[in-house]
Amino acid sequence: MRNFWVFIFSFFLLFGCSGEWEKYPIQNVDTDLTRFIQAGDTISVSIFGEPLLSGDYIVSQEGYVQMPLVNNIYLNGKTLNTAQKAIATSYQNQGFLVNPQITISIAESQTVFVIGEVVNSGEYSFKENMTVLDLVAKSGGFSYRANQNQFDLIRKQADGNDRVKKALISTRIRAGDVIRVRERFF
């Protein structure tokens, strides 16, 4: 009888550590996860040697950032590198700086939304490399009726239209995405 329990314990020990998580490899809906600046973002701009021009700036709903001396610069939909170049070009073209060294980062990120069969539907802060599982965990987990295998990812496109894609638990999400957890059918 003792050998039976040793066998059972060994069985669970070996197969319990089988790496079940490997069944959920990271899946990207889009292969390019470059962070784009969006309306409502707060960006931190640092211009080397120019502390009065450096600071945090809010991207307006129209997509512009109002910078000192050069006024409005359109940054909506641009990557951080492209935005750095656009700001540098504005200061150079207007003759204020000769060779500006600019660094941009996202100071305050956008949010993501989860709706459907989760404990607490709503809006949550976005973090880089966030997956559907991370968002569901933030929302308190699945409800008892949730389909835990397939999700809808609703993403706003550059033309302003929403696009619905199928997602997995390991799908990486972007700021502004909406995740819909569907109800399972028995």
Q: Tens digits of per-residue pLDDT, 49-87?
A: 999 999 999 888 788 999 999 989 999 888 889 999 999
Q: 162 pLDDT band (50/70/90 cuts)?
A: confident
Beta-bridge partner residues of 71:
67
User: In this structure, what token pair is assigned to residue 134?
Assistant: 């991370």
Q: Report the topology of domain 42-108.
A: wza like fold (3.30.1950)
Q: Tens digits of per-residue pLDDT, 36-55?
A: 787 778 899 999 999 999 99
Which phi and psi angles does 94 have, rounded to 5°? -90, 5
**CA-closest candidate to residue 36, choices 139, 168, 178, 155:** 155
Per-residue model confidence (pLDDT) at position 16: 54
**CA-closest candidate to residue 85, choices 71, 102, 69, 97:** 102
pTM (2 d.p.): 0.50
Q: Report the topology of domain 110-183.
A: Outer membrane lipoprotein wza fold like (3.10.560)
Domain spans of the chain, in order of start: 42-108, 110-183
Q: Tens digits of per-residue pLDDT, 92-149?
A: 999 999 999 999 988 776 788 999 999 999 888 777 788 999 999 999 999 999 999 8
